[in-house]
Amino acid sequence: MAEQDGVAAAAKAAQPKSRPVGGTEYSWCRAVPGGTGITVLAILLSKPVDIPLLENALLKLQIAHPILNSKLRYHAATNSFSYLTPPTPRLQIQPFDHSSTAEILLRRAAPSSISDFHLILEHELNRNTWHNPDPSSDSEADTFFASVYDLNGGKRVLALRLHTSACDRATAAALLTELLHPLVGGGGQEEGTQREIESEGEVGLGIEDYIPNGKANKPFWARGLDMLGYSLNSFRLSNIAFHDTESPRASQVVRLTLGKHDTRRILDGCEARGIKLFGVLSAAGLIAARASKELPDHKYEKYAVVTLMDCRSILDPVLSTNHAGFYHSAILNTHDIKGGEDIWEVAKRSYTSVANAKNNNKHFSDMGDMNFLMGKAIENPGLTPYSSMRTAFLSVFEDPIIAITHHQLGLEDFIGCSSVHGIGPTIAIFDTIRDGELDCACVYPSPLHSRHQMQGLIDDIKRILLQS
């Protein structure tokens, strides 16, 4: 009998585990086929890459975080998705030698000032493994892919590409930290914490299942009024000029960097006013957008800003910072901007509107509304100006990623961001404070906006920040 029980237990353990996706995860499953929600962590290395060692490190990450070892399965009959998690990881790195990499770079026409590393990042943002050409049939795809590209001068780019339903920005940052330890012989010091949470190969639940009791409650009439308000406001929102509304779209990136001195000045300014960095980034973006139109100073324009916040520390139970998955919520605010406004006044308004919404639990109570509106925009692009699928001018994160560049380990550079060329904002700002310097990857849809246009806008944002 004991032997039979052991065989049964072994057979059960060898079976893939499955769970349906949650509400927010489902929104990302619908968005990614259109081009929004492909998360990429690109890492520039100056030292040779030991592929077997790297593959082993990535497999350990999948064991520690089962959602990264999962397949997303689409069920055509019910138009639903689920995570299917096999008992053992199987990720293999896709290598691109020097000639293959050169071919990819040749196809990406760009100014000579843009580095090969930058172009590989954009290439990965537009590799959509999750586009199902036949939605009437079942399909499945991995949530996690890895590639290595050979560049000139003996440099390599390690690109990790993940489905955003399984990897928000906090997950990507944790992966970078966890990956460095085994590669340099440091081991995984937080492995025990990971396995306490993500035990026995189970994929953690969706964010909705961790919301503290009562925090997501909203009366039916209030939900109806909010939905009506969001819908009516969307017709009043301003955008910067579109360049090409007809051609197929892809995500491109403009990078905004500030030195240590200027970064410190801005952070000190935020601290003195009791606000966070996202407030001043939002303000600079709104002022630059309004200024690009050369309107009379007294004329107001209304812009929407989506602020994303990592909810792990306020869920029930509290999740660790390295718990893999998508555990961000979004708050949508609109702002009326006129000419000649002071950046710190706009920054204070931007921060206060988010803080007030958060105090009223709108990051939880409006989660279903945001997902519903996102789905409607995907189904009906014509509801947005020129079918652009722009739902806001700007998206920012409540807190930046704080990171260190490990040059002594051969880590020269890294960028983490997600694609936005399906549904999404005009600009998504992924901000990092790295070695004390502000480094923002600003992602936008091309050719809806041209590289020249967006570079000019980001240059204006930088100038406004420096003048602050």
Domains and CATH numbers, the chain: 14-207 (3.30.559.10), 208-467 (3.30.559.30)
- Quick one: CA dihedral 108, 110, 113, 119, positive or negative? negative
The answer to whether 290 and 457 are in contact (CB under 8 A) is: no
Is the pLDDT at 197 greater than 50? The verdict is no
pLDDT digits (tens, 9 = 90+) for 358-399: 999 999 999 998 898 899 889 989 888 899 999 999 999 999
- Please name which of 169, 206, 208 lies closest in space to residue 70, comparing C-alpha atoms: 206
**What local confidence, expressed as pLDDT, does residue 137 receive?**
87
**Helices 343-359, 451-467: inter-axial angle, 10-degree rounding:** 100
| CA 114 to each of CA 32, 120, 406, 415, 441: distance values in angstroms, whole numbers, following the listed order | 26, 11, 23, 14, 13
Mean of pLDDT values over 277-301: 94
Is the pLDDT at 300 greater than 60? The verdict is yes
Grouping H, G, I as helix, E, B as strand and the rest as coil, residue 295 is: coil
- Other beta carbons within 10 angstroms of residue 229's beta carbon come to 12
Is the pLDDT at 192 greater than 60? The verdict is no
Which pair of tokens denotes residue 355?
């803080």
Using a cut of 0.75, tell me whether the model's pTM lies above it: yes
Q: What is the β-pairing status of strands 36-45 and 411-420?
A: antiparallel
Is the pLDDT at 338 greater than 90? The verdict is yes
Q: What is the helix, strand, coil percentage profile of the chain, to 5?
A: 45, 25, 30
* Average predicted confidence (pLDDT) for the chain: 89
Grouping H, G, I as helix, E, B as strand and the rest as coil, residue 314 is: helix
The answer to whether 270 and 280 are in contact (CB under 8 A) is: yes
Give the bridge partners for 445, in sequence order: 251
Q: Environment class of residue 298 by beta-carbon count within 10 Å: exposed (0-12), middle (13-18) or buried (19+)? A: exposed
**What local confidence, expressed as pLDDT, does residue 404 receive?**
82
- pLDDT band of residue 8 (cuts 50, 70, 90) is very low
Is the pLDDT at 202 greater than 80? The verdict is no
Is the pLDDT at 288 greater than 90? The verdict is yes
Grouping H, G, I as helix, E, B as strand and the rest as coil, residue 276 is: coil
Q: What is the percentage of the chain residues whose pLDDT exceeds 90?
A: 70
**Helices 260-273, 343-359: inter-axial angle, 10-degree rounding:** 60
Grouping H, G, I as helix, E, B as strand and the rest as coil, residue 250 is: strand
**What local confidence, expressed as pLDDT, does residue 231 receive?**
63
The answer to whether 242 and 307 are in contact (CB under 8 A) is: no
Which pair of tokens denotes residue 264?
């410190």
Mean of pLDDT values over 88-92: 90
Which regions of 29-178 does DSSP assign to beta strands (E)? 36-45, 71-75, 80-85, 94-96, 139-142, 144-150, 156-163
- Residues making up the chain, counted from first to last: 468
Give the bridge partners for 335, in sequence order: 303
Radius of gyration of the chain (CA): 22
Q: Say how far apart CA 468 and CA 462 lie, in whole Å.
A: 10
- pLDDT band of residue 183 (cuts 50, 70, 90) is low
